[in-house]
A and B are shown apart, each in its own frame.
Chain A
C-alpha cells in the first residue's frame, strides 16, 4: 500500500509545492509543529517546503493539516492510509491531559514509544501504534500545553494522525461533548 508520506516525498518537488499551495489556498496553514507531526518527511528540502507554506499563514489545527493532506492526496490519486486493512482499522483517542509546562511533556514521546514497543512484544498487538500529540495552549500560561495520545489497531500506518479517530475514551468523549455544547 502506498502511504501518504512516501507518495508525497516521492513526488516531484514542483508538484509537491504546487499541490501544497492549492491545498492551502482557501485555508490558513497549520503550524510547523502540527505539520511535522502530521507528515514525517524524509528530506530537509521537502520539510522546508511544508514549513514555509505553514508559516505563510499560521493557524493551529490538526484538522487543517489533515484537510490539506487529503486534498493533496486526492490530487495525486493516493489511496488513504488505513483503508483495506485486515483486521478492521481502529484509531482510539485519549482525553487531553493538561501538562502545564511544555518542558514537562518532554518525557511523553519516550513513554509513548516505549508503550508501543511493549505492545508489539505481546501476541495480537504486534501492529499497534501509540502516538503522542501535543497542543500548545496559551491559556495555560507561558509554554502551557495539553497532550493526548492516539492508539491504532489493525495494520497501523506510521502516521496515525492522518487518520481520524473512530473511538474515544470516556473522558475524551466527555471533553468533546462539553466543547460542542
Chain B
C-alpha cells in the first residue's frame, strides 16, 4: 500500500438499526456510497473514504447483536479499510465505549 499521507481510520459511534435491520442496512450502504462519491468530487479519488460495517459481537450494544459503524479513513484508503483498526474515534464513539465498558464491569 503506497501512502502519500499517513493512513488514518476514524471510527464513528454505533448506530442502532435493530428496528428494521434489512432496510436500514441497505439505506446506510447507499449513504456510504454516495458520501464517498461526494468526498471524491471534493478531495480526489481514494483520499478519504467512508465505510459501513455491520458486525456481530459479544460486546454488542444492540438487541440484535450488531454494532453498525462507519469508518472514515484518510490517506490512501484501501477497499478493506473496515478491516483495519481505527486510530481515532469520534467523541460519541468514545462515550459509547466507556459506557459499554463500565456496564460490563
Contact = CB atoms under 8 A, between A and B. Distances in A.
Bind each other = yes
Interface of A: 90, 92-95, 97, 99-100, 104, 107-108, 110-111, 114-115, 117-119, 121-125, 128, 130, 148-151, 153, 167-172
Interface of B: 5, 8, 10-13, 15-17, 20, 23-24, 27-28, 30-31, 34-35, 37-39, 41-43, 48, 50, 70-74, 88, 90-93
A117 B90 contact: yes
A112 B8 CA distance: 19
A122 B48 contact: yes
Contact of A124 (B5, B88, B91): B5
By DSSP majority rule, is chain A's interface helix, strand, loop, or mixed? mixed
Nearest 7 A/B pairs, CB to CB = A169-B37, A114-B12, A94-B34, A118-B72, A92-B38, A117-B90, A122-B74
Given A111-B28, A123-B8, A153-B43, A94 B35 contact: yes
B78 to A, nearest CB: 16
